[in-house]
Amino acid sequence: MLARSRKLRLTATPLSGPLLVPSISSKGFPLTDTGVTESGTALELVSQDIDEALLVSAYDLHHKLLPECDRLLGPEHHQTIYGTPRLLVLDSGGYELNRDDFESGETQRGPYHPKPFTREDFEALVGRLPRDRDLLIVSYDSHNRPRDSYKEQRETAQRFFAGGPSHQRSDFLIKPQGNDRVLDVHALTPDAPNLRCFDVIGVTEKELGETLLDRLVLLARLRGLLDANGCAEAPIHVFGSLDPLLTTLYFMVGAEIFDGLSWLRYAYTEGLSTHPEQLAVLKCTIEYRQERRNLARHMSNLDELQKLKHRLGRWAHEPDKYEHLGTWRDPLREIYETVRARLAQEG
């Protein structure tokens, strides 16, 4: 049994897992007249409904593309829109710096030209973060190739996190080494015992494999590798996955933390991500103006994420009762059993 629903010791009072983390980013969203990203203005409207965790990008904070950036980095941070979530996750900005890679829900709108943002900029911004709130810091992600070996990545991240304040937890984002496009669990194995120094182990959805089955199998193998090498307490964080159906599958094979932007782009209903206009039909809000429909959709999506969290928790405690997984329990069960069969064949 790889799935687990447990207390995640990332805050002073542990959070219950799985942790479904709404993200905001400037990439793929237009800027408003005030110079901040449209996703940031959406957060202003629903921030009081995000009480567990929120992910923001160091790139966006550095370039002031989010609302209240200066206040977040100052003594009044508890009074900002970032003050409600118990855990603030700071991504290093690798997604925003990558010119070519877009989250699955984003259709590229012409050339993308990120502003400069260096490792030194990232480390300087981390040093300015509040010291009286719980933070989960993601290791710096350099998208340049060839990448360092797994051992070198781990050593660099370990040096960065060494001696950090007690309120900051570490999220080591493992990237494929060299020119590889996907992670190699076999190559990671020799250094796996050293991963116990991190609070969370992170992977990006697209770098788990070329097919969904490959991704699920690799994720299950990674969970098994961590468990066998003294890292059972470290949850796996899948970056870029907050789709209700895919999140369920990744949870079933061992991941526990998920973030993404799909809560801003889609409408969650019946365990699926659908076109936003469809929610207006299902909720009978066809007379609402666009702004009001967007607000209703964002709030509905956050509510759906809470329901999904509870469904996953129930299934983890009663894995023989697939009815806990809702409408799509039959295909989910079939895929899960396919993954288990593949793992058994590989030994």
The 10s digit of each residue's pLDDT in 276-331 is 877 777 776 777 777 787 888 899 999 999 999 999 999 999 999 999 999 999 99
Domain boundaries, the chain: 7-265
Among 138-142, 242-246, 247-251, 290-294, whose mean pLDDT is lowest?
290-294
What CATH architecture is 7-265?
Answer: Alpha-Beta Barrel (3.20)
Residues facing residue 171 across a β-bridge: 138, 200
- Reported as a single tens digit per residue, the pLDDT across 29-74 is 888 888 899 999 999 999 999 999 999 999 999 999 999 999 999 9
Confidence of residue 103 (pLDDT cuts 50, 70, 90): low
Give pTM, 2 decimals. 0.95
